[in-house]
Amino acid sequence: QSALTQPASVSGSPGQSITISCTGTSSDVGGYNYVSWYQQHPGKAPKLMIYDVSNRPSGVSNRFSGSKSGNTASLTISGLQAADEADYYCSSYTTSSSVVFGGGTKVTVL
Amino acid sequence: QVQLVESGGGLVKPGGSLRLSCAASGFTFTDYYMTWIRQAPGKGLEWVSYISSRSSSIHYADSVKGRFTISRDNDENSLYLQMNSLRAEDTAVYYCARDKLFSDYWGQGTLVTVSS
């Protein structure tokens, strides 16, 4: 199972919006609405930010939103803040009954 | 509150074995699939395996199939990962996480280092 494709890095200024893409295939991202997104700060465990493409867990800011079109899912962070600087990973369930992660995107707040 | 606490990591020689444990509390363990996810130093997340609530459904990543075995003890609220024939590329922080399709709770991780 190949990893989902994410850009290595995305940057933005405070207050701006950024979007991270996550591209898979019809066997994973395109085949199910089971895409999730995780935020990971250095030395910490990942934190769930979005599940089932566009749902936010309780306690996650509404500045984070998710969407999907075909084989590509996206995470948008609006009103970028310094605390959003972290690594972000997408994941998807697959037709092989496995789970696959993206390679990760480093978000830098300029 | 939900807590997942991993243990059992350490330094092991190539070809060796190690058993990781994850103690769960704060939720009804038998209601959930459980998952192991790992992260090599400086690298991204890699899904390893998941197990259904009654152990009837188990799946592994190709990279560990035949070498790793996931199991759980619902009486002890514990998840396990038996790792055999360890290789240098298995060096990683291993996280246990709740659920299968998405993981809303993660442990703090336990470091496994495979080196001679």
CA dist., res. A65 & res. B17, Å (int)? 42
- pLDDT at residue B67 above 80? yes
* A60 shares contact with chain B (CB less than 8 Å): no
Task: Collect all residues of chain B within an 8 Å Cβ-Cβ radius of residue A47.
Answer: 106
Contact predicate A88/A107, CB 8 Å: yes
Tell me the pLDDT of chain B averaged across its residues.
97
pLDDT at residue B110 above 80?
Answer: yes
Cα angle A61, A66, A72 (rounded to 5 degrees) comes to 155
Record: contact A48-B46, CB cut-off 8 A: no
Nearest residue in chain B measured CA to CA from A60: B104
β-sheet bridge partners, residue A17: none
> pLDDT of A36-55, one tens digit each?
999 999 999 999 999 999 99
The closest CB to that of B44, out of A97, A99, A101, belongs to A101
Q: Which residues of chain A have pLDDT under 70?
A: none
The mean pLDDT value for B5-13 works out to 98
Residue of A nearest to B43 (CA): A103
pLDDT > 70: what percent of chain B?
100
Q: What is the pLDDT of residue A2?
A: 83
Nearest-neighbour CA in chain A from B109: distance (Å): 7
Report how far residue B72's alpha carbon sits from residue B32's, in angstroms, rounded to the nearest whole number: 11
Residues of B whose CB is below 8 A from A51: 101-102, 104
Identify the CA nearest to B46 among candidates A102, A37, A46, A16. Answer: A102
What's the pLDDT score for residue B100? Answer: 85
Residue B1: pLDDT band (50, 70, 90) is very high
pLDDT given at position A68: 98
